[in-house]
Amino acid sequence: MEEEEYTLIDRGGRKFFQVLLRMPVEMVEHMDKASKASYRSRTGEILMRLEESMRGESFDAHGCIVKSIPSGVHAPTDNRSGGQ
């Protein structure tokens, strides 16, 4: 895999990495529609969705992602055994 190059930019005291991202056309079109519906820029929509997908995540001692389950949500049960 080639080494990624990032540009560090400063916007009003906040630092950001600027990255070149390759996305399928259909995904960009979907993001554009979603950003208009939510009154965000395309970048704002992508960042909001990334932040939302990472909410509740942490890393265990092995570096594996651990996702917390919000209270009131139950983990799915395995009903494949057929026993009742």
The whole model's pTM is what? Answer: 0.67
Structure confidence by residue, pLDDT tens digits, 3-15: 667 788 998 999 9
Highest average pLDDT, of 17-21, 37-41, 64-68, comes from: 37-41
Q: Is residue 43 part of a domain?
A: yes
Whole-number average pLDDT of the chain: 86
Q: Is residue 18 part of a domain?
A: no
Q: Is residue 46 part of a domain?
A: yes
Using left for φ > 0, alpha for ψ between -120 and 50, and beta otherwise, residue 35 falls in alpha
Number of domains in the chain: 1
Q: Give the pLDDT score at 1.
A: 47
Structure token digits, residue 34: 């979603």
Structure confidence by residue, pLDDT tens digits, 27-41: 999 999 999 999 999
pLDDT at 84 over 80: no
Q: Is residue 35 part of a domain?
A: yes
* Cα–Cα dist 46/54, whole Å: 12
Q: Give the pLDDT score at 39.
A: 97
Q: Is the pLDDT higher at 8 or at 70?
A: 8
Domain that holds residue 31: 24-69
Q: Is residue 54 part of a domain?
A: yes
List Cβ neighbours of 69 (8 Å cut-off, separation of 6 or more): 56, 75
Tokens 């919000």, located at residue: 70
Q: Is residue 82 part of a domain?
A: no
